[in-house]
Structure formats: C-alpha cells, structure tokens
Chains A and B, each alone.
Chain A
Amino acid sequence: MAAVARAVERTGPVPVRIGPARQAVIGPLAMWLLAAVGLDLVVTRFVVRLAIFVPKGEPFATAGTVLGRIGAAADALVPIMAILLLGALLARAGRTGGRLDRAILVAIAVVAVGGLALVVHPPTPDVIAALDLLAGSVALFAGARAARDARLPLPARLGLAWLAISVGASAVASAGGGSGLVQGADDHLSIEGIGPAFGAIGQVAFVVGGGLVGLAGVLAGAQRGARRRHWVAAGLVAGTVVAVVGTLAPATWAALTTWSIGLTGIVPTVAVALAAGLAIAGLPALHERSASAAIGAGIVLLAGHGLAASGLVLASLLGLVVAGIGDPDRAAHEPRRATVAALEGSPVR
C-alpha cells in the first residue's frame, strides 16, 4: 500500500488543467453513502427483520418477499456507493493527499476487493485473518487521523477515536474469534477469548463514540442558541423510546439491536438510549461546525458495530476517512491558488 502511494508521489510535478471539471464530488458521494447505509439500516436490518413477527400467510408473505427484495437492493447499494466514494477519494488523494492518506485508501481498496472475493471463493483462515487485521489497522490509522484534527471540538475528536476503536475491535474480534487463525488445540497460543473480549470492547466503544460525537454537536449547537431545537427534541424522543422499549421488552429489543446495529446487550440500555439521543440531537449541529466529521461519524454509526457484511465494513472504514478530511476544500474555492501552484510546477497541497 505504502509502495503504491510512494510510486505515485514519485511521478513528480504534474500540470494542472483548470477547467469545468473542478467539481465537488466527495461531499455528495459521502452523503449518498450515508443515505445508502441509513436505508440499509432501516429496511434491510430493521423492517425486514421485524417481518419475522408478521404472520407468514398471504398477503403478508408477498409483502415480506417484496420487502426482502428492497432490502437486498439496499444491501447492494451500500458497497456500490462506497466504491464510488473510494474512487473519488483516491483520485483526490492523488493530488492533495499525503502518503498516509494514499496508503489508507489503497488498503481500503484491498479490503473492498477482499470482501468481493469472499462472495465467490471459499476463504481460508489466513485470508480472513489478513483481511480483518488490515481492516482493523486501517480503522485505527484513519480514526487517529480524524481525531488529530485540532479544529474539531474535543468531544468530537474523542468520539471519532472511540468509533475507530470500535471498528478496529470488531475486526480483531472477527480475526481472532472465528477465523480458526491458529489450528491445533494443544501446541498453539490459545485465542479462544479474543473474539468475545474484543466484541465487548467494540460495543462499548461504539456507544461511547456515538455519544461523544453527539455531545460535541449538542454543545456546539448550544453555543449558537436555539437554531437546532427540533433536533434536540428528536434526540430526546429517540432516547426516551429506546429507554422505554429496551426496559419494557428487553428480549425483543436485544434481538432487534443485535440484528440492526450489532449491539448484543453488553452495554446497558440506558447508555444506548443516551448515546442514541445525543447522536440524533447533536450530529446535525456538528454538521454545521464540521460537515465531514458529522457525515463520517454518521456513516460509522449507521453501519453498526461488528456486522459482518463486507459492504458495511467498507462503509465504516470510509466513514472514518471522511471524518478525517476535516476542513472544507479551500483549494476548490480558490482557483488562483491552483493556478499559482501550476505555474510553480508543484501539486496543490
């Protein structure tokens, strides 16, 4: 990955063609990925799952089948949108990205094709472990990059770091828990506890991260006054609903959260309700402060924790990358800067 990034860097000064192609694509594509992951959460992982409670006779069976088809389409839309965003991020990194940015994106491309390969080819323990560990490493690097952005409020930076830990922990849990990484019972390191342990860590990190990025937005919104009061109300309602349903029907709620966002009940319902309320109330306000952080965190949160679908893993990693983009793309709004850079024969940084 780093070699590819270095090779591209070595291609030297390049001409800049100023023209109509100066388009803003990352933002729309990130928003579309956010929408696709949200659709997948609502339809594929929630409504379709809820359909098991519906009687299986007609007309429910037909409705369930139609719903299942829509869910399958939403499931397919996530990786397609993710690939489009990944391509755009790669193209952008070719000009403006540093070596680490490029390496992270190339590594994500490897994770993406690995997920595709697993669809048609049986995995081996080594392949599973390698892909999971690569995904975990990418998550931590991308998360660290996002959390280093000093322009973000501290809770948002901490929240992004926790979300990165969550994505990384779920990858390590997958690598250690079920890949059969170490074969043989007696003469190898025992790693039986790795899966459940990292799964638990990941769930806690997911809830803490979601709560913190939401808190950052709530605090930012409070500084601005009452402009986002309706989002605060929505967060309150959502948090209350989660708390009430989780308390009154804990078993059913646990089943639904396990299927939809990967929380298996390790984190208390009250904490999940608080985090959900903060995220819904705060992310729109955080979007005004830093669109990339809000959209990136939103993608990670909607993708859920530890859900094994390769498209969702890809979306989570891209969410962390998007969150780390940070600042608005000033170069896109300052043509003179690009022109001067072109005259100097150096890529825009």
Chain B
Amino acid sequence: MTRATRPLRLVGLGAVGLAALLSLAGVPITSAQGQTIFAHRVDGALPVDSPYDPVWQDVRPVVVVLSGQPVVPPMRLEPAFPSVRVRALANGDRIAILLEWDDPTRDESVLAVESFADAAAVQLALGDGTSICMGQQAGGLNIWHWKADWAVDLAQRQDVEDVHPGMPDDVHAPVDDSDDALGPDGFLTGDAAGNPRSAAIRPSSVEDLNAVGFGSLTPQTPAGQNVHGASEHRDGVWRVVMSRALSDGDPNDATLRPGDAAAVIAFAVWDGSRGDRDGQKSVSSWLALSLARPPIGFIDMWPYFFLLVMALGLSGFILWIGARQPDIGLGWPHGRPGGRPGR
C-alpha cells in the first residue's frame, strides 16, 4: 500500500479532530432511522379513549419485532410475543400511540402472590447517548408503563379482599386519635408514604417514569403523571392507547415537537400468565418516531430537494474538476513485472 502523502495525512488528522469536536459539541451527523413510526396527522380530538375507534383503522400499523431480554435477571430468553403492532396519531398538541398484540390470556391482577399482570411500555430517549437498557447517566429515558391491573383499578380499586374474600379484617389498634393522624389507612404504609403502587386511587392506567440505568427506575411526581391510558382486550388481542401532550416543558418528559428530527423510541410487552414482571419482558430495539410538521406538502420537502440539488451539483462539480486533473491514484500495491495485477 502506498503511504499517504503529508497533505493527505493532515486531512486525515483534520477529520479525526473534526469528529472529536462534533462529538464534544453533541452535534450529530449520522441519523439512525431504522424502522420509523410516523405519527399521522389528525384534525380534531384524538381517539385516546377508544382503542378500536375507526380512526385507528385508517393508520397502517408498523410491525415491531420483539426479542427476549437476556441482559439482566429476571431474564426472558425468548420473547413471549413475536411482535407488537404500533400506530401513532397526533394533532396540534397531543400524541397517541396504540400498541396491539395477540395475547389469548387476559391477566389483570397482581393480588395473589403467584399472579402477574399484562403490561406494555413505551420508552423514549431523553437526548443523545442513552442506552436502550434502561438508559445511562449520559442520557436518561422517559418510560410510559401501562399496567393491566391499574386499568382495572380505574373503575374499582382491587385489593386483597377481592382475591381472598374470606380473609379476616384486621383491627388496627390502638386507634390514633391525634390531630395529624392518618386514621385507619395509616397502617397502609405504602399509601401513607406516597408509593404510587399503593395509592387508593389511580390517576391513570399508565405510570410516567424515568430511568438512567439499571435499578434507577423512578416514577415521576403525582403532578408529573400526565400520560393517559386506555385499553381493551378483544378476541385475544390487546389494544392499548397511551397519550400525552406533545410538549409540556417538564424536563423529565420527552419533548415531542412536530418538525423536529425523529424521536428515538422503543417498546416492551409483558405477559402476566407467563410470569412476566420487571425485566422479564419482550423488548424491541430502537425505532424512530417521526412527527412531521403539518401539512405535508411538496413545498415542505424543501430541505430534501435543496440537499438533493446540492448533492447532484457538488458531485457534478467534483467530477468536472476531476476530469481536468491528473489521475488520482489508487494506492493499491501495483502490478509486479510481468503484468500480474494486484500483487
């Protein structure tokens, strides 16, 4: 191989320096679109409470392949479901994402020790440099976690008495009669401590969470719980809609703005009847979520046309310049005497 000349070596060093500068400044120059989910534009209200609304039928689903979670225990080596079908709708101020998957069993209770509920999650990256595995310090995640048991709780909070109706009712004594007493519920320590899982009233079937690595999953404050959920299990198929305001200024929420570059998104599904919980789940890889600025017309594509013209013009110019220059050598090992090429 012919060695690079000094000017060429300088160009190479410059390229390395430029790459370092761009990465330090956080300026991305590569896109990672992969599979893209397009949030289709809807005028008016979104069908956030109706998973089987006809509007959803007009949106073509993207089939997202799922795999197991073999990284940390509890693992799921094989996915419980091969795929989840994803649709997205958006209007001027709200986005709704519909997840649909085949699940013959409807698991909506976690009250017995041996029972686990179906669940699904949408995971959005907060900025660049995150990890799909629950995020990392360099970049966190915003997770919307729908739980089938929470969906049931919206209508009527289930409790242990529903599973064990004959159980004795504890008498909490002595009763605290002081002014700041919590009353009989003071013995429900989780609820008293503000644990959202123990709350007597569910604000939504979807929990709004953040994570920056394994073991860091944290629910947002009650005021920050702003993801709405709706679900329906029909003919062995779950349909779950999760919806949220596009942008609410909360730094813990992924910002979704029409016209921005595509957001980074992933999905996970749990099958309660197979004991799925925590990390035992079926997961997707990263996908892109695109919210185009409405309306999409020919003129809205101007950046692509501009860059297309630029690419063609620049390429033509370089070809033209190249045609007027001495040959640019390849630098491969050249032919030996005798004319055998490539030796």
Contacts and interface: CB of A to CB of B under 8 A. Distances in A.
Nearest to B31: A118
Interface in B116-157: 128-129, 131, 133, 136-138
B334 A94 contact: no
Interface stretch (B200-208, B217-225, B243-251, B258-266): B258-266
Interface in A113-158: 113-125, 127-128, 151
A241 interface: no
A122 B261 contact: yes
A333 B333 CA distance: 11
Contact of B19 (A8, A14, A19, A77): A77
Contact of A64 (B3, B31, B136, B321): B136
B62 A180 contact: yes
Contact of B3 (A28, A56, A87, A328): A28
Contacts of A78: 30
A122 B291 contact: yes
Contact of B342 (A120, A188, A289): A289
Interface residues of B, number: 99
Given A117-B307, A122-B261, A325 B330 contact: yes
B327 A87 contact: no
Number of chain A interface residues as a range: 35 or more
Given A309-B30, A310-B30, A64 B318 contact: no
Interface stretch (B171-179, B185-193, B308-316): B308-316
B315 A106 contact: yes
B326 interface: yes
A168 B41 CA distance: 31
A17 B321 CA distance: 12
Interface string A31-63: 110000000000000000101110010000100
B9 to A, nearest CB: 8
Contacts of B331: 24-28, 329, 332
A333 B339 CA distance: 12
A292 B332 contact: yes
Interface string B24-53: 100011111111111010000000000000
Interface string A171-207: 0001001111011111010001001100000000000
Which 9 interchain pairs have the tightest Cβ spacing?
A27-B331, A94-B322, A178-B35, A251-B70, A24-B331, A332-B329, A91-B322, A308-B34, A24-B329
16 contacts: A5-B319, A22-B326, A24-B2, A27-B332, A72-B129, A76-B22, A76-B29, A77-B15, A109-B312, A122-B259, A127-B304, A174-B35, A255-B71, A264-B67, A309-B31, A328-B342
